[in-house]
């Protein structure tokens, strides 16, 4: 599934909410909604707008105040950019699978820490950074030190 840069801004917001409120009962559903979008096959040469928002609307008991943006479709008149970065999509999909694992296990500190490490990654993708891997390593550094891991390697199977 190809997404627009604005969908990545929505993912950024979701990660910020997960970081701020890791114990919310609908977080598992929100995480699964993002995974469904990231896993959806690209079947034609069109890119649908507001994919993340549309998927969030399907989440039961979603806080309509905290996620009010999801209930409004944006009609973009400028600045729309299709993000075609298989490396970034793979990284985000695996990261959200890890977030889902933490949510299921109710490992809220790890969920909060991982969401914190990830929250800028969608913005880096949306801005089509030429230094994506370097920026990602910087974003992951605190989590990697705390949990003695290498998220970039774990999420991409590359160093």
Residue 42 phi/psi, 5° resolution?
-90, 105
User: pTM of this prediction?
Assistant: 0.94
Amino acid 158: pLDDT: 54
Report the number of distinct structural domains present in the chain. 1
Average pLDDT of 114-119?
A: 98
Share of the chain above pLDDT 70, in %: 99
Domain membership of residue 101 as a residue range: 3-156
**67 to each of 36, 44, 102, 154, how far by Cα in Å?**
18, 30, 21, 30
pLDDT by residue (tens digit) across 92-105? Answer: 999 999 999 999 99
Strand partners, 3: 83
pLDDT greater than 60 at residue 159: no
Q: How far apart are CA 140 and CA 110, in angstroms?
A: 13
């Amino acid at each position: 599934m190809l997404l627009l840069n604005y969908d990545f801004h929505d993912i950024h917001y979701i990660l910020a909410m997960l970081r701020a409120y890791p114990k919310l009962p609908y977080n598992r559903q929100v995480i699964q909604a993002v995974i469904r979008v990231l896993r959806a096959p690209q079947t034609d040469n069109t890119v649908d707008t507001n994919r993340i928002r549309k998927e969030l609307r399907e989440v039961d008991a979603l806080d309509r105040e905290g996620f009010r943006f999801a209930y409004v479709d944006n009609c973009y008149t400028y600045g729309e950019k299709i993000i075609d970065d298989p490396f970034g999509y793979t990284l985000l999909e695996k990261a959200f699978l890890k977030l889902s694992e933490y949510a299921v296990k109710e490992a809220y500190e790890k969920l909060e820490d991982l969401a914190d490490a990830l929250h800028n990654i969608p913005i880096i993708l949306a801005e089509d950074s030429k230094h994506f891997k370097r920026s990602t390593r910087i974003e992951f550094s605190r989590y990697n030190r705390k949990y003695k891991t290498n998220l970039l390697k774990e999420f991409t199977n590359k160093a």
